[in-house]
Structure 1
Amino acid sequence: MTESFGALNWSILGIYIVANLLLGFIIGRKINTSDDFYLGQKQTPWWAIGISVIATYVSAMTFLGAPAWAYSDGLSVIALHLNYPLVIMAVIIIFFPFFYNSGVASIYEYQEKRFGKRARGLVSGIWIISQIMSSAAILYGTSLVLSFITGVPVTWAIIIVTLIALIYTMMGGITAVIWTDVIQSVILFAGAGIIMYALISTGDTSIGESLSTLKSQGKLDPLNWDFDITEETTIWSGIVAMTLYHITVYGTNQMMVQRTLAAKNIGDAKKSYLLMGFCAFFIYLFFIVLGVLFYDFYQGREFENSNTIILQFAADYGMPGLMGIIAAAVMAASMSSLDSSFNSLSTVATVDFYRKYLKTDATENHYLKVSRLFTVIFAVIIVFPAIGYHLFSEGSILEVLSKVGSYFVGAQMGMFFLGFFSKHTSENGLIVGTVSGFIIVALVALNSDVAWPWYCLIGATANIVISTVASLLIDGPSKRYSEYTVIGQQRYFKANNLAEKEGGWYKVPGRVDRVNYLLFGFFLVTLAFLFSIQFLVS
């Protein structure tokens, strides 16, 4: 690929990488404290945070992985991504008030307030492990791009990409993360738009003929109503299992939530997530349709690595500068996820462990230095599982990333669900239940054909049931709801005559802002649209 990449493409890629580093340097000059590094100065506009949220989770995993997944499984992959309106509703109604009102930098401080230090350490540790593994998948995906276009071995590409993302993250903290994400999103979607136009305009048949052929091949069936839990892309796994999975991703994941804590107020924090709620369906549908159209264009031919399909098409199309734009878009968008990961891992390690147990009374400048040191440490650690993915994984990296996360999200979901709603769960019972839930998920994964989207529901259910029973046996029933449950918070606001709203947005958990009804209506419309597809194509 090196010979065909050319000076123009190299220039585009080089300029874009330098621009990211330069932006990190400029923003880094304003970082004076550890709070600046974690939260900025709470002056970031909501729309920038919202775009950053979209860019971080969509990123190159969708750019590469969604077309690859849809190439093999067809339009049914969209079933796993139609749940975002439900997810965002749950997160901004229940999760955000707890996190934002407390003014925390690490969302896992909530677990200590609700249960105790051991619970906080447990959930923080679980998240760190899962984030390292998922970030490694992202790093692997990015490195595939660099290797594909330059011929550099994937292992070396992993190291190079890590260094680039590490440098500007160390300098600029969360503010650099957000603003580089905004710029990277524009490039990512511009590149995807060009690919879609080229794909439609260069085919040998009309789009109508292509869709008819794809329908006859079973590639245009978006809703699989089968109750078989061994299948991944059914409507039930999308609405039930993956709703819980994504609630955990968006509600209990420090990487996703941390940027919303940099918002000016809770209204801006909620609006930033609502942007994802209304946009995610269209974004995923776009990339999944790309994969289906690629199947028609390449007549279903097999690729050595399906994640490079979109890059192969860009190379085949031959538009001057297109490979440079695509390479820059994928690399930069992937690095936007990596920088978020580095920053959030550093935050949790510093706030939840170092600052709490090792050095409790140091200066802000000291904690800033430690945060940057942890950023380096985690960047080095993530390299090793990324190389492992390269050696042992051949499927869609979006699917790989989702599978990795599915082993951990059940524990996180169970811990936060019990924190928000349970009256009797104690710290001792919670630890017993969480460990038991992990064991049960592992046994299910190793000894059954149950599809991975259901691991979250299985793990969370086991955690909730066992934690509740163990709490009653070990510590007995509680006489009242904790102040840090939903009911406890509502009673606290009422007893202290506190305003439930700020700027027209609810601060108390469990209260529904009006826009959520619109979001739910949007979910129903998307479901109806997918149902109608089978009748629209003849």
Structure 2
Amino acid sequence: MTPTVILTILVLYFAVLIGISRFVSRKDSSNSAFFSANKNSKWYLVAFGMIGTALSGVTFISVPGEVGAPSGEQFKYFQFVLGNAVGFIITATVLLPLYYRLQLVSIYEYFEKRLGFYSYKTAAAIFLVSRTIGSAFRLYLVVIVFQRFVFDAFGIPFALTGIISLALIYAYTYKSGLKAIIITDTLQTFFLVSSVILTIIFICSSLDLNAIEAFETVKNSSYSKIFFWEDFMGSKFHFAKQFLGGMFVTIAMTGLDQDLMQKNLSCATIKDAQKNMFTFTGIFVLINIFFLGVGALLYIYADANGVQVPADLITGKPRTDLLFPEIAFHHLALLPAVVFLLGLIAATFATTDSALTALTTSFCIDFLGMDKPENVHKPKNIKVRKMVHFVFCLIMFGVIVLFNAINDASVVSMIFRIASYTYGPLLGLFTFGIFFKSRTVHDQWVPLICLTAPFITLLISNYSATFLNGYVFDNELIIVNAGITVLLLLAISKKLTKTVFETNEI
């Protein structure tokens, strides 16, 4: 498929999204529609649309690529996914009832009620930093694909490709925000799911395999090992590390994250929001099985047809993230290439548009107080909200350019590694707030605690092999970070008086 064809499909795709956004916003472009979709979203649309938000272009490209990585990852990611599923269930049964009972727009308002001003602002700031970095990394991976397979042919530099991508997202999100995204993400998830299934069909056809033969081929290949029980101390792949890491990363990156929770809170009732989460969890697990299957089939196809893993243009090292687009664009027919492209676009922009809306919501609510009674009806709020949305686009662009200059690692691994440090204090704050209801903290010390805990965690991670008998941390590092945060919060805590504790509803 030529760069011109790819570019044409991109333009048509975004024309549809912008058209949907304009249609949705023509009657209501208010802050209420932007922040919470007026609290009338259909749970089944939210559940289906959240698939695209949760998976992203990282899952679409990097997860299949890692199946055949030199480090021997195979299907070890599914251990992490099983932990994710448990984390989603905990989020639905523990956190969602709390958020609905308090009638929150930004979930970090909980801390203002529970611990105080500085705790509230610290939690919101942690989210802003964490989500900006994580979403920029996700978008970065796909910008690289567009750059290599499309924009290099037109002599367009990487930085301009990043600007174009973010400008397109801004064009269909700045007016209606969440109200439009509920609909556009449903459409994008449809493209994503269809792309995965059709890609499997196309590759199987190219290998002359039917469904049963494909299953047996993957099962008997060297890529299909799921559970890793060997070397608990020294291996990052051990089941316990992956499962626990997946569970707590999900609680932090979903249950304590304004992005995905904002969609849940747009449902009319807690019952609808929980139906959404349970449905989403089942689909999420199934889709990840398909992604891993795609990864195995890609490497089997590459081995059979002499396809090499493309090299990174900066480091010269094989880059597994690029194997999927390499085969889709250069080795399959036009229709499979188009299907892959639509899936990639959908996976990427369903995540980024949602993140930009959540970042704007959090800043406007948590730092500008737009939900306060005295501010709700100020005429300039909509103009300010649009400006905040634009500024976050610029910040995300800066992170993408920076990451392009320094990165030589798999993006999926990098995202979850950074999440262990940035989301750990947030997980610790919620843990303290929920499980130590009889205590509060010296609020002004909380920002320092949330900076100290990740630093201590970094030291533990760097020297764990030396001081912990060879133990090597992976995604479960977030548990250590959260635990240190809780211990430090307990150290600066004080017992609530009986009267305050008895009237404390949170």
Q: Scaled by the length of structure 1, what TM-score is found?
A: 0.83
SS in structure 1 at match of 2:379: helix
The one-letter amino acid of 1:257's match is M
Matches within 5 A, 1:385-464: 385-422=399-436, 423-428=438-443, 430-431=446-447, 433-448=449-464, 450-464=472-486
**Superposition pairs of residues 115-130 of structure 1, within 5 angstroms:** 115-130=115-130
Aligned-pair distance for 1:443?
1.8
1:352 equivalent to 2:341? Answer: no
Please state how far the C-alpha of 1:465 moved relative to its aligned partner.
1.5
Contact 1:85–1:277 under 8 Å retained in 2: yes
From the superposition, tell whether residues 146 and 476 of structure 1 become closer, same or farther in structure 2 (CA, over 3 Å).
same
The residue identity in structure 2 corresponding to 1:178 is I
| Residue identity matched to 2:167 | L
Q: Quick one: structure 1 residues 296 and 369, their matched pair in 2 at CA, closer, same or farther if it must change by over 3 Å?
A: same
Q: Does 1:297 align with 2:297?
A: no
> Which runs of structure 2 are paired with 1:32-43 in the superposition (5 Å)?
32-43=29-40
2:323 maps to 309
What is the CA distance between 1:204 and its match in structure 2?
7.1
Q: 1:309 to 1:481 in 2, by over 3 A?
A: farther
Other structure's SS at 2:362 match = helix
1:40-55 equivalent positions in 2, closer than 5 A = 40-55=37-52
**What is the Cα deviation at residue 208 of structure 1?**
6.5
Match in the other structure for 1:255:
259
Distance verdict in 2 for CA 1:356–1:30, change over 3 Å: closer
Equivalences for residues 25-104 of structure 1 within 5 A: 25-72=22-69, 73-104=73-104
Give the counterpart letter for 1:341 in structure 2: A
Helix, strand or coil for the counterpart of 2:175? helix
Partner of residue 21, structure 2: 24
- Counterpart selection for 1:190 from 188, 194, 209: 194
CA contact (8 A) 1:419 1:484 kept: no
Match of 2:165 in 1: 161
For 2:375, what is the secondary structure of its paired residue?
coil
Report the CA distance shift for 1:32/1:291 in structure 2 as closer, same or farther (over 3 A).
closer
Q: Deviations over 1:116-161 (max 9, x none)?
A: 1110000111111111100111220221232233133433221111
Deviation at 1:174, TM superposition (A): 0.3
- For structure 2, the 5+ residue unaligned runs are 312-318, 466-471
CA-CA distance at 1:303 after TM superposition: 2.8
Tell me how far 1:396 sits from its aligned partner.
2.8
- Alpha-carbon distance, 1:432 to partner: 5.2
For the residues of structure 2 that align with 1:323 and 1:99, how far apart are their CA atoms? Answer: 43
- Measured in 2, the distance between the counterparts of 1:195 and 1:397 equals 22
* 1:24–1:172 contact (8 Å) kept in structure 2: yes
Structure-2 change in CA distance of 1:431 and 1:187 (3 Å): same
Seq. identity, %: 20
Q: Structure 1 residues 465 and 146 mapped into 2: Cα distance closer, same or farther (>3 Å)? A: same
Note the 1:262-341 alignment, pairs <5 A.
262-299=266-303, 301-304=308-311, 305-341=319-355
Partners of 2:495 and 2:176 lie apart in 1 by 48
**Aligned 8 A contact 2:84 2:249 in 1:** no
Residues 340, 212 of structure 1: alpha-carbon distance in 2 compared, 3 angstrom cutoff: closer
Q: Alignment RMSD, CA only?
A: 2.5
Unaligned runs of 5+ in 1: 490-538
Structure 1 position 210, deviation (Å): 3.5
- In the alignment, what sits opposite 1:470? 492
In structure 2, do the counterparts of structure 1 residues 77 and 442 end up closer, same or farther at CA, with 3 Å as the change threshold?
same
The CA distance in 2 between the partners of 1:156 and 1:99, in whole Å, is: 40
1:366 match: 380
Q: Deviations over 1:145-184 (max 9, x none)?
A: 3223313343322111110001111022101111111001
Range with greater deviation from structure 2 (44-53 or 98-107): 98-107
Instruction: Letter of the 2:119 partner, please give it.
Output: A
Contact 2:218 2:293 in 1 (8 A): no
2:114 aligns with 114
The letter for the 1-side match of 2:115 is: F
Asked if 2 retains the 8 angstrom alpha-carbon contact of 1:414 and 1:460, the reply is yes
Q: Amino acid of the residue matched to residue 329 of structure 1?
A: G
Q: Select between 171-180 and 425-434 the one with higher mean Cα deviation.
A: 425-434
Aligned to 1:149: 149
| TM-superposed deviation, 1:476 | 4.8
- 1:324-346: per-residue Cα shift (whole Å, max 9, x none)? 33223312331111111111111
Q: Distance in 1 between matches of 2:292 and 2:50?
A: 20
Instruction: Please say which of residues 334-343 and 139-148 is displaced more in the overlay.
Output: 139-148
Aligned to 1:381: 395
Q: Deviations over 1:488-535 (max 9, x none)?
A: 55xxxxxxxxxxxxxxxxxxxxxxxxxxxxxxxxxxxxxxxxxxxxxx
Tell me how far apart the structure 1 counterparts of residues 94 and 496 of structure 2 sit (CA, whole Å): 24
How far off its partner does 1:319 sit? Answer: 2.1
Deviation (angstroms), 1:289? 1.9
Cα distance in structure 1, aligned partners of 2:219 and 2:200 = 18
Q: One-letter code of the match for 2:230? A: D
Q: 1:179-218 alignment to 2 at 5 Å?
A: 179-203=183-207, 207=214, 210-211=217-218, 214=221, 217=222
Instruction: Give, in whole Å, the separation in 2 of the partners of 1:263 and 1:102.
Output: 15
C-alpha distance in 1 between matches for 2:26 and 2:64: 40
Q: 1:36 to 1:319 in 2, by over 3 A?
A: same
Task: With the length of structure 2 as denominator, give the TM-score of the two structures.
Answer: 0.88
SS in 2 for 1:41: helix
What amino acid does structure 1 have at the position aligned with 2:30? T
8 Å CA contact 1:53–1:273 kept in 2: the answer is no
Tell me the distance in 1 between the aligned counterparts of 2:373 and 2:43. Answer: 34
Shift, 1:229, TM fit = 5.0
Over 3 Å counting, the alpha-carbon distance change for 1:476 and 1:12 in structure 2 is: closer
